[in-house]
Amino acid sequence: MKIEENGKYDAYKAFGIDQDIFEFGEKALSNLESRFKQVDLTAEKNQLRVIRAMQENKVSSECFNGSTGYGYDDYGRTTLEKVYASIFHTEDALVRPQITCGTHALALALMSNLRPGDELYSPAGKPYDTLEEVIGIRPSKGSLAEYGITYAQTDLLPDGTFDYENIPKKINSRTKLVTIQRSKGYQTRPTFSVKQIGELISFIRGIKPDVTIMVDNCYGEFVEDFEPSDVGADMVVGSLIKNPGGGLAPCGGYICGTKDCVENAAYRLTSPGLGKEVGASLGILNTFYQGLFFAPIVTASALKGAIFAANLYEQLGFSVVPNGSEDRHDIIQAVKLGSAKGVEAFCQGIQAAAPVDGYVVPEPWDMPGYDDPVIMAAGAFVQGSSIELSADGPIRPPYAVYFQGGLTWPHAKLGILKSLQSLRDAGCLPELPSLD
Ligand SMILES: *Cc1c(COP(=O)(O)O)cnc(C)c1O
C-alpha cells in the first residue's frame, strides 16, 4: 500500500518550518524504523504490565470517587497504592497528591529513613541540583545536614561508569542509606540502565547487606520493561508530572518500596501514628489511574522524540547525550549547543510548538532550587510538567539543553523541527547535510 503524503509539508509550512528542514527530518526518520519498533515493543509489554496490575487489584469505578477531610477509608487511594506496588513489585507504595513534586518525594524518602548520626551516600556522583539543598551540600534551612546527617559521595569515572575501586572506601558503619540517581538530570553523563543499577546494588550489598538503597527513578519509569525495584532497590521514588502520571496527573509523587521504608515515609508525610491512613484524595484519582494507564505509550512518544532529536542534532555536528544510536534508559536528551544564544533559541523553538502558551517567548530566570539562571520551554497543560514536551537548560557551560517529553509523538516531532528552525532564525544552525 502506498501512503499518500501529498500536502504533509504544508502542515509544517504553516508553522514556519522551511522545506529543507522538514525533508531533513523525514530522511532521518526513514532510518529510525527499527529503533521505533523496539520502543513500541517495550511500550506494549509495559501496557500489559499496567493493565494486569489494575485487574489484579480489582480497580473499579468506585476507585474514582475520592474523599474529603481526613480521607479515612479512601478506597481509591488504597487501591491505587496497591496498583503501584504491583507494577514496581514492591511490598508497599505511597502515591499522593500531597507529595508536591519529585524533589519533595525524594526529600521525604530521605528525611524519613535517615536519623541523626546516619550517613547518606551517593556512589553515582553529584545528585540532582534541587537535592543539594535537601542534603545540605548547599546550606539550607531544614536540610539533612542541619539534623546531623552527613553525606558522602564517590564521583563517576570519566567514562560515566561507577568507580568500583573507590566505592568501598566510602561505606562505613554510619552509612545508612545509599542513593542512586538513574537519570542524568542536568549533567552530561550517561543515564544508568536498570541492569547497571542492579550490578551496583549487588556490589554494595556485598559490602553492607543491610543498607537501605533508594533509586531516584525520575524520568526512568517505563523506559525499560523492568524497574530498579526488580533488581534490589528498597525504594524507587519519582514524580507524577513525569512519566508515570501519563500527562494526566495534575500533581503528585510516589515512593514504592519495602513496608518499612514506605511506613517511615508515610509517618513523615502526614504524622507519626497517622501514616497512610489519612490524606484526602479529593476528586483527582481518576487522573492518576488514567494517566498511569497511558504512561507506557506516553513514555514511548517521548522516547521517539528523544531519539529523533539525537539523530538530527548529531548529524549537524552537535554533541548529544545519548548519541543517535545508543540504547535509552530515560526520556531526556541532552544537546550541547555551545552558546547561551543557542540554548535560548532551542527552547524558544520548543515553546513555539506548544498547544498552550505557544505565543510566549521564554527567557532565562533565577529558579528556586537552582544555582544558575535556567531557561525553560513549557507550553504545558500541567504547570512544569516535563512528560509534556519541554526543554530546559541552565545558562552555564557547556550550554547544554535538556529536552524531554511529548505526550504524542507528532507533537514531539513538530517541536524538534521548530527548534531547528528557531536556531536557523537566530543564526545558530549549521548548514544541513545533503540529503542523498
Ligand atoms: C525532575 C527530577 C527531580 C526533581 O523533580 P521535581 O519534580 O522537578 O522536583 C529529581 N531527580 C531527577 C533525576 C529529576 O529528573
CB atoms within 10 A of CB 72: 10
Task: Provide the whole-model pTM.
Answer: 0.95
Residue nearest to atom 14 of ligand 1 (CA): 218
DSSP-derived pairing of the beta strands 212-216 and 175-181 = parallel
Tell me how far apart the alpha carbons of residues 287 and 247 are, in angstroms, rounded to a whole number.
9
How far is the centre of ligand 1, averaged over its atoms, from the C-alpha of 239 (Å)?
Answer: 7
Q: What is the CA radius of gyration of the chain?
A: 22
Reported residue count of the chain is 436
Burial class (CB in 10 A: 0-12, 13-18, 19+), 188: middle
Residue nearest to atom 6 of ligand 1 (CA): 102
Each residue's pLDDT tens digit, 362-400: 999 998 767 789 999 989 999 999 999 999 988 999 999
Contact 68, 280 (CB under 8 A): yes
Each residue's pLDDT tens digit, 70-85: 999 999 999 999 999 9
Tell me how far apart the alpha carbons of residues 299 and 247 are, in angstroms, rounded to a whole number.
10
Residue nearest to atom 3 of ligand 1 (CA): 102
Q: Which residues line ligand 1 (CB under 6 A)?
A: 101-103, 106, 128, 130, 181, 183, 185, 216, 218-219, 239
Contact 330, 220 (CB under 8 A): yes
User: How far apart, in Å, are the Cα atoms of 396 and each of 183, 375, 404, 425?
Assistant: 20, 11, 19, 22
Which of 181, 239, 367, 402 to probe ligand 1 with, by most ligand atoms within 8 A of CB?
A: 239
Each residue's pLDDT tens digit, 192-231: 999 999 999 999 999 999 999 999 999 999 999 999 999 9
How far is the centre of ligand 1, averaged over its atoms, from the C-alpha of 422 (Å)?
Answer: 27
Contact 339, 227 (CB under 8 A): no
CATH 3.30.365.10: does it fit domain 63-291? no
For helices 75-88 and 285-315, give the axis angle rounded to 10 degrees. Answer: 40
Report which ligand 1 atom has the smallest distance to the Cα of 181. Answer: 13
Q: What does the pLDDT average to over 406-424?
A: 98
Residue with cell string 505509550 = 297
CB atoms within 10 A of CB 368: 6
Please state, rounded to an integer, the average pLDDT across all residues of the chain: 96
Report which ligand 1 atom has the smallest distance to the Cα of 131. Answer: 10
The three three-digit cell numbers of residue 216, written as one number: 531516584
Residue nearest to atom 8 of ligand 1 (CA): 102
Portions of the chain given CATH number 3.40.640.10: 63-291
Output phi, psi for 358, to 5 deg.
Answer: -65, -15
Each residue's pLDDT tens digit, 286-340: 999 999 999 999 999 999 999 999 999 999 999 999 998 999 999 999 999 999 9
Q: Which fold has domain 8-45+293-425?
A: Aspartate Aminotransferase, domain 1 (3.90.1150)
User: How far apart, in Å, are the Cα atoms of 12 and each of 16, 25, 232, 392?
Assistant: 7, 11, 47, 24
Strand partners, 374: 365, 394
Portions of the chain given CATH number 3.90.1150.60: 8-45+293-425
Whether the predicted pLDDT of 260 surpasses 90: yes
Q: Taking Cα atoms as reference points, which of 377, 370, 316 lies closest to residue 344?
A: 377
Which of 110, 214, 216 to probe ligand 1 with, by most ligand atoms within 8 A of CB?
A: 216
Contacts from 366-373 at CB under 8 Å and sequence distance 24+? 369/103, 369/129, 369/130, 369/133, 370/129, 370/130, 370/394, 371/129, 371/132, 371/138, 372/396
Percent of the chain with pLDDT over 90: 93
How far is the centre of ligand 1, averaged over its atoms, from the C-alpha of 212 (Å)?
Answer: 21
Question: Across 240-282, where does the E strand assignment appear?
Answer: 253-257
Amino acid at 266: A
Report which ligand 1 atom has the smallest distance to the Cα of 386. Answer: 1
- pLDDT-based confidence at 7, cuts 50/70/90? confident
- pLDDT-based confidence at 114, cuts 50/70/90? very high
Each residue's pLDDT tens digit, 9-65: 999 999 999 999 999 999 999 999 999 999 999 999 999 999 999 999 999 999 999
H-helix or E-strand containing 53?
Answer: helix 33-56
How far is the centre of ligand 1, averaged over its atoms, from the C-alpha of 147 (Å)?
Answer: 23
H-helix or E-strand containing 406?
Answer: none
State residue 4's pLDDT score: 65
How far is the centre of ligand 1, averaged over its atoms, from the C-alpha of 183 (Å)?
Answer: 9
Whether the predicted pLDDT of 154 surpasses 90: yes
State residue 126's pLDDT score: 93
- pLDDT-based confidence at 188, cuts 50/70/90? confident
How far is the centre of ligand 1, averaged over its atoms, from the C-alpha of 27 (Å)?
Answer: 34
State residue 2's pLDDT score: 58
User: How far apart, in Å, are the Cα atoms of 130 and each of 123, 175, 195?
Assistant: 18, 22, 26
Each residue's pLDDT tens digit, 119-131: 999 999 999 989 9
State residue 436's pLDDT score: 65
**DSSP track, 334-397:** EEE-SSHHHHHHHHHHHHTT-SSSTT-----B--TT-SS-EEEEE--SSTT-SSSSEEEEESST
Report which ligand 1 atom has the smallest distance to the Cα of 130. Answer: 4
Which of 130, 191, 382, 387 to probe ligand 1 with, by most ligand atoms within 8 A of CB?
A: 130
Q: What does the pLDDT average to over 353-360?
A: 96
Q: How many CA atoms lie within 13 A of 138 on its CB side?
A: 12
Torsion-angle region of 232 (φ positive above 0: left; ψ -120 to 50: alpha; else: beta): left
The three three-digit cell numbers of residue 62, written as one number: 468506585
Q: How far from the centroid of its chain's Cα atoms is residue 58's Cα?
A: 28
The vertex-382 CA angle with 376 and 388, nearest 5°, equals 60
Whether the predicted pLDDT of 189 surpasses 90: no
| Backbone CA torsion sign across 205, 207, 211, 212 | negative
SS3 65: coil
Contact 401, 337 (CB under 8 A): yes
Output phi, psi for 152, to 5 deg.
Answer: -135, 155
